[in-house]
Amino acid sequence: MKNVIVTGTSSGIGLDTVVALAKQGWRVFATMRKTAKSGPLESALVDAGLRDRVEIAQLDVTDAASISAAVEAVLSKTGGQLDAVVHNAGVAVGGAFEDIRDDQSRHVMETNFFGVVALTRALMPTFRNQRHGRVLIVSSDAAFMGQPGNAIYCASKWAIEGWAEAAAHELNLFGIEAILVEPGPYRTPIWENSPHIMPPESPYYAWSQQLFKAADEHTERTARDPIEVARVIVKALEAQRPRFRYPVGPLARITHAVRGKIPSRLMRRGVSRLLGLHRIRA
């Protein structure tokens, strides 16, 4: 039985990934920042008859002590062996970057970037000693092009992609694979649970109003079932020779294909018109 740690499993892609991996016979350590929110995952596992294959544990990727305790607890149960980690924990904050406080921006970066780096570093001695392991990061199509009102989240995903490309050189020395899974819009709670910063006195107020309304409508039309992402994660973890990048969903594949081929000015103009932002004047 292969062992895997999955972060951010209380809902969405993380929850579906835990269930999908357990179905394939993996022993899953499903972690989340607040285990009090484990109800939906536990119900899904019971319904699938998989509760005995999954252990739920507390892990806050922004807390060094929490990372250390979780890694120690997992390895004590696996005999010091681990086959993979799935970095799925993520947060966002929407709004014009000028309106977003530094602490809000740093929280996104601490979770989406530094948390991935810190947890991977804590697992590296195990992966190196056994000369194998897979570090799978759930990135986003937000890493392919800038999105209005989403600058901080985009920055976090661009950062983790750059880190993964560079760190892969080091990981490969020891037979460790780095993998990026890059979904487009999927029906997950991340945006519902994210702050939408739109102060009435902001010079971006009208622009933000239009943006959030249009973005919600666009997501409602195009968002897909997160089980698709979970299946790609399983495929990547079980592939004999996994690809480095897996764009998931039609929009992600399109934006991945045109990345660097269409001038940024034209991309911004197209997105602005799609969301009706071109009608807003400062």
Catalytic positions: 153
How is residue 3 written in tokens?
């062992």
CB 247 within 8 A of CB 236: no
Q: State the DSSP H helix or E strand holding residue 183, giving kind and residue range, or none if neither.
A: strand 176-183
CB 14 within 8 A of CB 89: yes
Residue 278 CB neighbour total at 10 angstroms: 12
CB 36 within 8 A of CB 10: no
Residue 195 CB neighbour total at 10 angstroms: 14
Tell me whether residue 44 is exposed, middle or buried, using C-beta atoms within 10 angstroms of its C-beta: 0 to 12, 13 to 18, 19 or more.
middle
Using alpha carbons only, give the angle 171, 85, 18 rounded to the nearest 5 degrees.
155
Tell me whether residue 245 is exposed, middle or buried, using C-beta atoms within 10 angstroms of its C-beta: 0 to 12, 13 to 18, 19 or more.
middle
CA 20/CA 26 separation, integer angstroms: 9
Q: State the DSSP H helix or E strand holding residue 28, giving kind and residue range, or none if neither.
A: strand 27-32
Q: State the DSSP H helix or E strand holding residue 6, giving kind and residue range, or none if neither.
A: strand 3-6
Using alpha carbons only, give the angle 260, 222, 212 rounded to the nearest 5 degrees.
85
